Structure 1
Amino acid sequence: MTLVVGLGCQRGCDVDTLLALFDSALAAGGIERQRVSALASIDRRQDEPGLLALARLLNLPLQCFSAGQLTAYEARLSHRSTVAFAHTGCYGIAESAALALAEQLCGGPARLLITRQKNAQATFALACAG
């Protein structure tokens, strides 16, 4: 089974904030960090230093998608954020990015294993496929 973490964050969100959310959400779900295959986000965050640092720290690839690609997953989101939509054109970055990459990697349908979790600066979701 392929596990993909989707992440959304505010500009300037540091790696420690992202790692704390990543680890706490996985721990709550009873999933070990090493089972995660990749990270996903929106293309507007592809150069975000905290996300890039997290990918390096965890030694995981980071794949980013356009808002247009992510809107295809809108009906499957557990939460629709009007704030995220106002800033990005997408109602849910973490969940939709996780679903998009899990399906891309497996070539089949994915589902959310951990729905949107958040702290003050970031959102997290975990999707699985295969």
Structure 2
Amino acid sequence: MPFPPGATPLFAGLGCRRGSPADNLAGLLRRTLQAHDLPLEALAGLASIDLKYDEPGLLQLAAHLDLPLTFFSAAQLAPFATRLSHRSPVAFRHSGCHGVAESCALALAEQVSGQPAQLRVTRIVHDDMTLALAWAPSFGG
């Protein structure tokens, strides 16, 4: 997927229940990008929590988009808890992380850019899926 010249890369954090189909995850991603007038080509990577390392929907989405999929442990995501728009007790009970999508998006943006990241789109919840987009504004563009 060609990356737009001069664009700042976006990093998507995804959370989902087991068995969420790739088509549903792709639809959520597409709708979110369109709603915020962001190009799909600006996506530079996807991330989720390591509990989902074998989740078919996430793996298929990454393959379909030809994007790297990175997994982070709850311990790696913990430092981002104070920067989340929403801290979910339910997510914490299930994963040890207060917000999978936002934490993963921030973690990946900072890992790739080596710079402080910000949420570009805060947590979007649809059915049993969550999505957030992060960027490092001074990186790439």
Structure 1 segments unaligned to the other structure (5+ residues) = none
- Mapped to 2, the partners of 1:26 and 1:63 lie a distance apart of 20
What is the TM-score of this pair, normalised by structure 2?
Answer: 0.90
* Aligned residue runs from structure 1 range 103-114, under 5 A: 103-114=110-121
Which residue identity lines up with residue 16 of structure 1 in the other structure? D
Question: Per-residue displacement from partner, 1:60-118 (whole Å, max 9, x unpaired)?
Answer: 00000000111110000001111110100001000000000100101010000000001
Higher percent of residues as helix:
1
Which residue identity lines up with residue 73 of structure 2 in the other structure? S
Matching residue of 1:36: 43
* Aligned residue runs from structure 1 range 1-130, under 5 A: 1-129=8-136, 130=139
Count of residue correspondences: 130
SS at 2:18's partner residue? Answer: coil
SS at 1:90's partner residue? Answer: coil
- Mapped to 2, the partners of 1:118 and 1:36 lie a distance apart of 19
How far off is 1:17 after superposition? 1.0
Q: Would the aligned equivalents of 1:2 and 1:106 in 2 still touch at CA under 8 Å?
A: no
Structure 2 segments unaligned to the other structure (5+ residues) = 1-7
Percent identity over the alignment?
52
Following TM superposition, where does structure 1 have runs of at least 4 consecutive aligned residues deviating by more than 6 angstroms? Answer: none
Q: Would the aligned equivalents of 1:3 and 1:126 in 2 still touch at CA under 8 Å?
A: yes
Q: Would the aligned equivalents of 1:5 and 1:39 in 2 still touch at CA under 8 Å?
A: yes
Question: Per-residue displacement from partner, 1:18-66 (whole Å, max 9, x unpaired)?
Answer: 0111011111111011110000110001110000000011110000000
Name the Cα RMSD after superposition: 0.6
Q: Would the aligned equivalents of 1:5 and 1:94 in 2 still touch at CA under 8 Å?
A: yes
- Mapped to 2, the partners of 1:121 and 1:59 lie a distance apart of 24
SS at 1:98's partner residue? Answer: helix
How far off is 1:2 after superposition? 2.3
SS at 2:106's partner residue? Answer: helix
Which residue identity lines up with residue 90 of structure 1 in the other structure? C
Q: Would the aligned equivalents of 1:17 and 1:121 in 2 still touch at CA under 8 Å?
A: no
